[in-house]
Amino acid sequence: MWTGNRDTGLTGIRSRKQHRCYGMGLGVMLVDDVYPGFPGDMRNASAYPFPVQYDIVRGIGFDDLIFAEDKSACVGPIVEAARRLQDMGCRAIAAECGYFAYFQREVADAVDVPVFMSSLLQAPLARTVVGAHRSVGLMVAFRDHLTDAHLRAVGIDPAADHPLAGIAESGLCPTLVRLYDEPDPALREASYEVVEHEVVTLARQFRERHPRMGAMVLECGAVQPFARAVQRHIDIPVFSWGTLLDYAYGVVAHRDYYGHV
């Protein structure tokens, strides 16, 4: 994962404003719910090639974040979590669920580091790179709860050509949905192969329904482990939390280049 020793341009150290730790990477806000995540899931730190620091948005679960019509009670805890991550020394801040998109502007205005609250931030870029003759599909956890306010907050024109597929509404991903819906956290379990099959099946059907689709954006952090499998089957560009976080880290901790001429 790491090559060489220290950055040769690093010749000294100094305190940075409000930073308690150094050498930090991305801060990731988690909802205050218990569920397991495969490597690649936003709440599984083992697969990231850079440092990840978590903070829990205390008192805010998926029900509050996604289903509550009045989301004003979420703002304070989310902003507090973002500020804690900033004070810890994180160079950028992200969140585990794409529905944090709703609070992109509030969090970005509250901290002094870059904020990436939803993988849906990549949809405008995807629209630009695939051209006006192609659409960009959005595979989201709960289609019925993705509002125009979510889209506008991350720069998506609600009138743009963005076909939607809801993981929960599709009925094709019951195992994945149970990881959220099962009332007893001790019973939240799943087989990797089963979930992969469910997610790929949905993605393939989504793509087949929209033959003009030139790219797909995966909103859900729990789908990230299967992004490569999705791409193998639909064979178009796939934007996910993984591509966003790789980009975010590169922006705030640019890599050096080693080679020859």
CATH class of the domain comprising 26-118+245-252: alpha beta
- Note every long-range contact of 7-11, with CB atoms under 8 Å and residues 24 or more positions apart, other chains counting: 7/256
**Which residue did the predictor score with more confidence, 1 or 240?**
240
Same CATH topology for 26-118+245-252 and 119-240: the answer is yes
- Mean per-residue pLDDT, 114-130: 97
Residue 79 has pLDDT above 60, yes or no: yes
Q: The pTM is what?
A: 0.90
Q: Which two tokens stand for residue 176?
A: 């994945």
Q: Parse the chain into domains and list their residue ranges.
A: 26-118+245-252, 119-240
End-to-end Cα distance, the chain = 24
Structural class in CATH, domain 119-240:
alpha beta
* Four-CA torsion 88, 90, 93, 94, nearest 10 degrees: -100
